[in-house]
Amino acid sequence: MPRLAAADELHDFDFVGLNDPMLGVVGAYDDLAIDFDGDAALCQAQFGHQAGNGETVAQDLLLAVQGDVHGQDDRGGRLPLQPGTPLVSATHSPLRMILQRMGRPTYAAIDAAALRHNLAMLRTRLASGVKVLAVVKANGYGHGATLVAPVLDAAGAGWFGVATLHEGIELRQAGIRKPILVLTGAQRCDVPALLEYDLRVSVLHAEMARDLADADFKRPLPIHLKIDTGMARVGVLLHELPAVLHALRRSPQLEFDGLFSHFANSDRVDREFSDHQLGLFKEALSLVRAAGFEPPHIHLANSAASWSRPETHFNMVRPGVILYGVAPAVSPAPNGLRPVIRLTSQILQVKDLPAGAPVSYGQTFVTRRPSRVAVLAIGYADGYDRGLSNCGAVLIHGRRAPVVGAICMDLSMVDVTDIPEVRVGDEAVLWGVQDGAQIRIEEVAAWQKSVSYEVLTRLGPRVPRVLRGSVTG
């Protein structure tokens, strides 16, 4: 098996968290193992230390990867690491064991320090008292919601935004206790779970308000009313607002906790349409107050408006992609953001091909000279888009190697003819920094004729996300 260079580099990690569908959410923290999924049945070998929440930390990571509750491997031998042995080291790390179990040397490193830095930069643009609702929907924009949310929580984010009920429950199970807003609404059957997990929910139209109000309630359900100010997607149009307010007045079990809307193009230099949206939102707020309601949380600004338009901040903002180091196209530009994710794979094989040799499906690339082609352990099933075929690039030894041929489901090929030192097992960076060179998410998006949001959120579930750095900083 090729050497696992990615695992070898983990000796300087303060914290390694893993968001992986096979193993749940686990991590090695200050040389201790933590299982965040709440299943204590496997926790036998206690270190006797405590995590930040006061709960005892167990050697659950090793047991999750191999062995049973008695601390033995499946052949009856002792586990290779004993209590007190550093779990993150150059010679034997949990990530190495995980990658070996998965059989693929591909993972995404999530930089906790960069995440904190980006949030701190954004805060410099906000007035005192303006809350931050950090949007962590779509698995934290592909970064791993249960990895990034605790970092943002510790860094001072006051609220969290998710798309679905399930995403909200996932955050609660990961230990997030601050308010969570489900942005895309819910149905009557969801009310028990919304109450059980203390989730707030968006109301998108009068029928949804009536449907939610007809559920059985143990206590009031906090709702945020969404106004459609020009997206023509979801939300209440201005002429529909009186009927919705009437439904809310007749439903005291629905607690009117917030009013919000969403910009359609706040990242454009021309502000005419976003100014129009802001005017409609202010009109909606006046109608709400005239009807006798005073929702305590008013939010409109997304990443772009959070950075560049203080008149849209009200008392809460909803940044998303800017937290992950992707700058919206606004003026002034948010220079200094740090990309949070670094996607890496490794070279599985290197082939020497003659001129005139076709590469991959459909023969969309044919070598023009004697060439060396390296095969990487990543493909479109991992979220490395097929649209990058013959136009993308990766970093190997700090130099760009162009993608050649059609990207396959599990594999990709790159031309390394001009990087003669390339060997099997070498690291390839799909996006991120290597040896001073960088491939940015925005570049990848342009290559595949898409947007940064899609590039990030399409990163597949079989790519482990590994958190680099401590949760608390």
Mark out the alpha helices in 104-144 (DSSP H runs): 112-123, 137-141
Rounded (10°) angle between helices 272-290 and 241-249: 40
Count of CB atoms situated within 10 Å of the CB of 208: 23
Selected catalytic residue, list 218, 351, 361, 449: 361
Nearest-angstrom CA–CA distance, 437 and 431 = 10
H-run or E-run covering 437: strand 437-439
Cβ density class 437-473: b for 16+ within 10 Å, e for less: eebbbbebbebbeeebbebbbbbeeebbbbbbbbbee
> What does residue 101 show for φ and ψ, rounded to 5 degrees?
-65, -40
Look up tokens 């491997």; give the residue: 73
Q: Note if 361 is an active site residue.
A: yes
Nearest-angstrom CA–CA distance, 399 and 323 = 28
Reference 165, options 173, 155, 153, 154; nearest CA is 173
H-run or E-run covering 172: helix 165-173
Nearest-angstrom CA–CA distance, 278 and 210 = 27
- Tokens standing for residue 6: 């990615």
Selected catalytic residue, list 137, 141, 380, 384: 137
**Catalytic residue set:** 137, 361
